[in-house]
Structure 1
Amino acid sequence: MMVFSLKGGVLLGFLAVGVVQAQLDTQIPIGTFQGNNSDACHDACTALASTLGEKVHHSTSLPSSLFSGYYTLMARSTIPLCIVHPTSSEDVSKAIKIISQHTCIFAIKSGGHAMFPGGSTAPGGIVLDLQLLNGLELSEDRGTLFLGTGNRWGAVYEFLMPWNLTVVGGRVGDVGVGGFLLGGGISFISRRYGWGCDNVRNYEIVLANGTITNISYASNPDLYFALRGGGKNFGIVTRFDLETHPNLPSWWGACKLGYCIDLDTFVAAISRLPIESENDHDAMGYGIFSSIPKANIYVVGTHTIHTGAINNAPSFTKLVSDLNTKSIHSTIRTQDPYGFTQELDAHNPVGVRVTYNTATFKVDQAFMKEVAKIYMQEVESIRGLEGFLGAYTTQTLARDEIAQFQKNGGNAFGIREEDGPLTILLVSFSWGSSKDDELVVRTAQNIIDRSVIIGKEMGVHHPFIYQNYAAKSQDVFAGYSVENQERLRRIQKEVDPEGVFVRLQPGYFSL
């Protein structure tokens, strides 16, 4: 098979030129509310407005500006009964007490990047939009960044630039801080420092009973453990205190386009990458396989970044050699780190219909080829849909990265260093019409389901499901170790005995 080679493409967003950018109407009538539009929620919204005043938006209509912060069009179309914009952890405390008292469903929004309806929205319920909790402050020794949950990563990196510092944060600047860190958090610098959750020194959190407390490894090792991958199940984090790291003035890598290459060469090169870069903590790379329906072709490629700014880094030499076709476009360069984040922002347009689905596997060349075949078979039925673009990526989880998971008592995932290197497979689709939602989401699920079946047959499947890439239908916590699942449930019952964050927050992944 011959495929067009794309080196350094970044998900399907790289190709999403001309995809629908529809916005909601200027005013959204209250009559379009969905779901939990009950007397209890009306009473809760009334009580919230009485307590928090103009920080609560609840009337006969809601301006569309309240929804423009959501990444997907589906999230923007899921309408709550009221939205609260707290400006302090005290506001959050008051709000959660009222919500709990009235037993109304709710959702928490940090950056609004959840890929499915209800993830950070509550149809007919209440949304706590934390965007105004956007404080940024460095400690005196500059070793800790005090980071409000309402921030997005682009603003964080800009803030740290004058001190030549960085944190383990998102690769896309528009992504919010909260969900990224509570779900794990893969970063450009994760090979050296682990995931975002492994670099949080302290959490300021509002518990189900309204208590505001600070949680660190020293003060409460159980809850600290649970917040490192346990998601929304334990409370509302209003501030993260992140360890800072020195930032080199420039990195090397990004995007290159070229001519034809065969599938066998591609999967061989991608499968070798974790081995060839095993001892280089600054080398980050992943493979991409994508379809461009209008051109009736498939494309393959890699996205490589070297955070040590080594031009043509030895870790990538074989990869570049194997995939070194005639170049037609390149953004490969040496640039300040924030420039790479800005590039990914441009490749991930907001306001589109998007779905994600994911699974994890051991690195294996034969398996990677089977995944490509499954992808092509499944995509045939949807590639002609209005506005359709599709891709899957193979995100390497290296052994040195996994080793960092054990810092400060370990995170909640239960992945062992000897499990690696692993590949986190992400299927990502975008499309233009709501009438195709069910078909596209089901196709993405089929690709993952079939890949898992074959992966188990070949002995390369790993149970971990990365929360930040998961579809709503996936049981994220079933992929954690049994021991960690039991520990998480015990901690959840201790800090939230009434199950507020499970019972009343149904839209995101529950224990």
Structure 2
Amino acid sequence: MMRLARAIAISAVLFAGSAYADTCSSVEALGYINVTRPLSLAYLEEQSQYWSTSCSALKPECIIFPKTTEEVSTVVKLLYNSTEKFAVKSGGHNPNNGFASVDGAPLIVTEHLDQSDLDPATGIVDVGPGNRLDGISAKLQGTGWTFVGGRIGNTGVGGLVLGGGLSYMSTQYGWAASSVLEYTVVLANGTIAKVSKDSYPDFFKALKGGGNNFGIVTNYRLQAYRQANIWGGNLVFLRTPDKDTKLLKAVRDWTEYNTDDKASVIVTAERANLNVVDSWIIFLFYDGPSPPAGLFKNFTDVGPTLNTCRERTYADLMAFSNWVVVKGSVVQIATETIPLPSAENKVKVMDALHAHWRNVSSTTLAVPGIVASIAWQPFPKKIAEQAKRLSPDLIDADDDVDKIIIEMNYSFIPQTEYNRMADTMETTYSGVRNRVVGWQADGTLPDTYLPVFMNYGFYRQDYFGRLKPQSRALAKRVAESVDPTGFFRDRTGGWRP
């Protein structure tokens, strides 16, 4: 009877048409889906959960909190019969305005789609987009299974997996998306589809790196993997020019020579107002209680001021990592992918790119609250090999050349600086790109495919334009098939094929 009553209510609202011109009122009229309006505590709390205050400053007309796939379907049907813009939010870690945030229109938040249903015999787990990585790791703690997630606990599952998802365990298992076995997707017309490699192979591939172009994913059926305690933490170095040279050499050499797939590093440099902070922070990870002796010697020999690495649970590492989220700031993130230079060309390439970053970031150090960072993230051939082994994806990274994914971040307090800092960000990443293209042309670097990694992409970067033409064509073909009216293309933010 409850289902029948809801069906009648939905039909009545849809039939009313223009009488319910806005989706917020239409959903409220149904009476069973949670809707909050401005000034309510739930609304204010949810708006505070974005990583960037520029996203929090966009004020949705209402925030809708569906609890089931069917409720998401109902909301989408109502939106489909309107002309409103909208946004969908998982964890709110994407700082690009309008991608997971919206002004004056409905915001769908997946917070209550937080299922984590594990089959302890097979390790297959159903994960909802309302989970954050620290939450899902805590739920799996003690089961003997882990998921291939990201590196910062506060990150939402939805955006991470749809963008591909780079993990500490990527050399073992590829992208986070590589372990998805099936997606539950609400399409533009409200239809609910189960998408797997067998049911819809092109759609399945397009969802792995295709972002929010095809529907709202309400469940990720993932293959989890066996895991006991791990080892990890940070090394902190006070910056000197000598340490710059040594740590850039260390991450270059590591990317080429490391053969232990259980090990992972991220090498970051951080600067804050007027160089009050000027440091290196290295993230180390080993998928086991202790790394082999000397495995991370390249980094520890440089002489860290602080070392927090120890045996711990994966859940503890995820929770510990949240210190990197700078609360109360505008955040801008961009990325570039570079081929690994030879040892002979390390100074010409990596030292020059790092000097470029320091030169540009120096122009920002008087901006209130500024924190500028660059992360050098090894992307050895093994990651691409494992991704191809497990499941085809839209990124389709080649396994011919070792690479490094560079992440560039600026966080700052005044929102009035947003456009000026966006120009500075463009100068930062385009300077990297232009140098790399030049070095590829003169033979300093290999001429290889270098996609933009979606999870770190800046809104001005051409994500789909940097994919292989066949990948972009597949994404466009799938989008036109499952969303022929351009519902997601035209009415919500994101990159479009």
TM over 0.5: yes
Residue in structure 1 matched with residue 82 of structure 2 by the alignment: 102
Are 2:225 and 1:245 aligned?
yes
Aligned to 1:173: 153
Q: Give the aligned partner of residue 415 of structure 2.
A: 434
Give 1:30-45 correspondences, 5 Å limit: 43-45=22-24
Aligned to 1:219, which of 199, 206, 220?
199
Please state how far the C-alpha of 1:377 moved relative to its aligned partner: 1.6
CA contact (8 A) 1:225 1:411 kept: yes
> Structure 2: which 5+ runs fail to align?
1-17
Identity of aligned residues (%): 24
Q: Secondary structure of 1:241's partner?
A: strand
Task: Report the secondary structure of 1:163's partner residue.
Answer: coil
Output the CA distance in 2 between the equivalents of 1:314 and 1:60: 55
DSSP 3-state at the match of 2:81? helix
Which structure 2 residues correspond to residues 297-308 of structure 1 after superposition, within 5 A? 298-308=278-288
For 1:475-490, list aligned pairs within 5 A. Answer: 475-490=462-477
Quote the Cα distance in structure 2 between the aligned partners of 1:151 and 1:253: 23
Residue 468 (structure 1) aligns with: 455
Q: Give the match for residue 34 of structure 2.
A: 55
Asked if 1:121 is matched to 2:101, the reply is: yes
For residue 445 of structure 1, what is the amino acid of its counterpart? E
| Contact 2:117–2:126 (Cα < 8 Å) also in 1 | yes
Deviation at 1:260, TM superposition (A): 4.1
Mean Cα displacement is larger for which, 102-111 or 255-264?
255-264
The aligned residue for residue 316 of structure 1 is 296
Quote how far apart the aligned CAs of 1:184 are: 0.6
Of 424, 430, 448, the residue aligned with 1:449 is 430
The residue number in structure 2 matching 1:375 is 357
Structural RMSD (CA): 2.1
- Cα deviation per residue 1:417-460 (whole Å; 9 max; x = unaligned)? 11x31111111011121122222221121011011111111114
CA contact (8 A) 1:290 1:392 kept: yes
Deviation at 1:232, TM superposition (A): 0.4
Residue pair 2:137, 2:315 contacting (<8 A) in 1 also: yes
Match of 1:334 among 298, 311, 320: 311
Q: Any residues of structure 2 matched to 1:58-457 within 5 Å, and which? A: 58=37, 63-139=43-119, 141-257=121-237, 260=240, 262=242, 263-277=244-258, 279-295=259-275, 298-311=278-291, 313-321=293-301, 323=302, 325=303, 327-364=304-341, 365=346, 366-418=348-400, 420-457=401-438
**Other structure's SS at 2:420 match:** helix
Match of 1:46 in 2: 25
Residue type of the alignment partner of 1:167 = F
- CA–CA separation in structure 2 for the residues paired with 1:122 and 1:206: 20
> Which of 484, 490, 494 does residue 497 from structure 1 map onto?
484
Provide the C-alpha distance between the structure 1 equivalents of 2:143 and 2:188, rounded to a whole number of angstroms.
37
**Aligned partners of 1:256 and 1:332 also within 8 Å:** no
- From the superposition, tell whether residues 241 and 342 of structure 1 become closer, same or farther in structure 2 (CA, over 3 Å): same
Change (3 A) 1:253 1:408: closer
Q: CA deviation at 1:231?
A: 0.6
Distance 1:255 1:236 in 2: 39
CA shift in 2, pair 1:60/1:385, >3 Å: closer
The alpha carbon displacement at 1:275 in A equals 1.4
1:18 matched to which residue of 2? none
- Per-residue deviation at 1:289? 2.3
- Please state how far the C-alpha of 1:414 moved relative to its aligned partner: 2.2
Q: Secondary structure at the match of 1:102?
A: coil
Question: Structure 1 counterpart of 2:380, which letter?
Answer: A
CA distance 1:343–1:128, change in 2 (3 Å):
same
Change (3 A) 1:150 1:301: closer
Alpha-carbon distance in 2 for matches of 1:390, 1:475? 23
Change beyond 3 A, Cα 1:52–1:396:
farther
CA deviation digits over 1:271-325, x for unaligned, max 9? 1111121x2101111222222334456433532212233346444223433x2x3
CA distance in 2, matches of 1:152, 1:350: 17
Per-residue deviation, residues 159-208 of structure 1 (Å, max 9, x unmatched): 11121210001221111110000001111111101111000111111111
SS state at 2:22 partner: helix
Cα distance, 1:61–1:160 mapped onto 2, change above 3 Å: closer
Contact persistence 1:258–1:329 (CA under 8 A): no
CA 1:41–1:448: 2 relative to 1, 3 Å: farther
Q: Is the 8 A contact 2:132 2:156 kept in 1?
A: yes
CA contact (8 A) 2:275 2:365 kept: no
Letter in 2 for 1:317: K
**Secondary structure of residue in 1 paired with 2:152:** coil
- Over 3 Å counting, the alpha-carbon distance change for 1:434 and 1:409 in structure 2 is closer
Q: Which amino acid in 1 is paired with 2:339?
A: K
1:392 aligned counterpart, secondary structure: strand
Q: Write the distance in 2 (CA, Å) between the matches of 1:332 and 1:256.
A: 11
In structure 1, runs of 5+ residues without a counterpart are 1-38
In 1: Cα distance, 2:285 partner to 2:430 partner: 30
- Contact kept in structure 1, 2:50 and 2:95, CA below 8 Å: no
The answer as to whether partners of 1:70 and 1:76 remain within 8 angstroms in 2 is: yes
Q: Which residue of 2 aligns with 1:16?
A: none
Following superposition, the deviation at residue 379 of structure 1 comes to 1.7
Q: SS where residue 458 of structure 1 aligns?
A: helix
Distance 1:495 1:42 in 2: 25
Q: Which has the higher contact order (CA 8 A, sep 6+)?
A: 1
* Matches of 2:424 and 2:231, distance apart in 1: 37
Take 2:38 and 2:312, find their aligned partners in 1: how far apart are those partners? Answer: 48
